[in-house]
Each structure stands twice: as structure tokens, then as C-alpha cells.
Amino acid sequence: YFKVNNMRLVEELDALVIRPIGRGSLEELVFRMDMLYKLERLGFYVINPAEAIEHCVDKYDILATLEDNCVPVPRTVATESVKEALKAFADLGGDVVVKPLFGSRGIGATRVVDAEIAQTVFKAITFHHGVIYLQEFVPHGYSDIRAFVVDGRVIAVMRRVSESWKTNYSQGARPAPITLDPAFEELAVKSAKAVGCKIAGVDILESPDGPKVCDVNSQPGWKGLQMVTKVNVAEEIVTFVLSELKR
């Protein structure tokens, strides 16, 4: 049985809204996902579904899934070869963002604009048996858009404004209100649907070539968002979950 703080989950709860599953070793992450899949097999209502969370935990998987569904994303290369990574560095314009394959909140993401530094970074990653994941740097004016999607609709949105290229709220970016363009709203909903998320935070960059989705968060926070919207985000989530349980 599943027990947390003396609470027997299956016996005492009807649904589980997953908050960040946390950082950890591959073994720890796999175990946490195994638990979510098991809860689903027991008939427990889990939001987001384990499969959607699994998509979003892996940066390569999520970008590949979005691209497969015709969602515009930054040009991205993932490889285990330093040689191939250096070629990709040049092909992507010599200005890239290197990210850990598993990670969130901008932690571990590094912008690299020098080939020698790139080689050092790539060698360090492979030395530790990691995957080199590099993405073209998209000029975005130190801001991006976070659209909060619940059950196929955008319930709230904000612009995140930063003093650096990282626009994560947890990295110091400040939230600002914004009215979302209908095309961006459609893109956010399409992105959430592509990865199977009922609840999602979709991050959109406004690039010179048009909007690009750089991430879909399956366990989004809304502290910053709540500061700039009149929508009660928590209430919207609870209302949605209760409506699902009544089906």
C-alpha cells in the first residue's frame, strides 16, 4: 500500500495532483514514476498522468514530441559525442544554451558562445556519462511568456521579465501582466495536448522568426503568476479535478 505521513493514499484520497517530483538519481526518479503508474493501475486519479510527467521530465523527449506535433521549437541537438556537439555548436550559430537533460527552474543551464569553452563543457558532460543537450540561443529581449493551461484552455498568463537571459521566476525574473495573442493561446493549448498534460505551464519565446515553445512544465508553480492575474489558479485546478471525479 501507499503511505505518506501516516495517510493511506488509496483509502483516504480520491485524486492526487502531482507537485514537483524533485531532483534525484535516475534510480530515484524511476522509482517515483513507478509509484505513479502503480497508483493509476489501482484506479487512482493522478494529475498529470504519469506518462505526461515522464514526457516533460526529459527535455529531449518533450522537444521531440512537440516537433512531431508541428509545434515550433528552438533548433536543438542531443548527442553523446563531443565531436558531433562541436559541429552542432557551429551549425547553431556559435551561441547556444547547454542544459541538463533532466532538470528544471533553469538550474544547470549555461549559455556558451566560445568554441573552446564549448569543448571543455562538452568533455565535462561526457566524462560524467551525461548527454550533451544544446539548443540555439533565441534572442528574446530577456523575457518570455508563461501560459497556464488547465483542461485545454489557457486560464492565466504572464510575461516573465529578467535582467539576464534566464527568465525563470525562481531565478529572479519578475512577473508582469499581459494579454495573450490568440495565436499564442492556441500554441500553448496545442503544446499541452501534445504531451498529454491536463495542467501545464507552457513557456513561449517571442523570437524574430515567430513564437517558439521552449518548455512544457507538467508540474507548474503559480506563485508569480498569481501576483498578476485575477484568476484564482488553485481554485481552477480544484474545480477541474472535482469535475473529472464526477465523470
Contact (CB, 8 A) for 201 and 169: no
Question: What is the location of CATH 3.30.470.20 in the chain?
Answer: 140-245
pLDDT digits (tens, 9 = 90+) for 33-66: 998 999 899 888 999 999 999 889 889 999 999 9
Of the candidates 36, 53, 54, the one whose C-alpha atom is nearest the C-alpha of residue 45 is: 36
Whether omega before 48 lies within 30 degrees of 0, making that bond cis, reads yes
CA distance 221 to 247: 27
Average confidence (pLDDT) over 222-227: 94
Q: Is the pTM of this model over 0.85?
A: yes
Instruction: Assign a CATH topology to domain 140-245.
Output: D-amino Acid Aminotransferase; Chain A, domain 1 (3.30.470)
User: In the numeric block, which cell numbers belong to residue 49?
Assistant: 498522468
Task: State the Cα torsion 141-181-104-209 to the nearest 10°.
Answer: -50
Residue 3, pLDDT score: 55
pLDDT digits (tens, 9 = 90+) for 131-153: 999 999 998 888 899 999 999 99
User: In the numeric block, which cell numbers belong to residue 138?
Assistant: 533565441
User: In the numeric block, which cell numbers belong to residue 12?
Assistant: 483516504
> Is CATH 3.30.1490.20 the classification given to domain 76-136?
yes
Question: What is the location of CATH 3.30.1490.20 in the chain?
Answer: 76-136
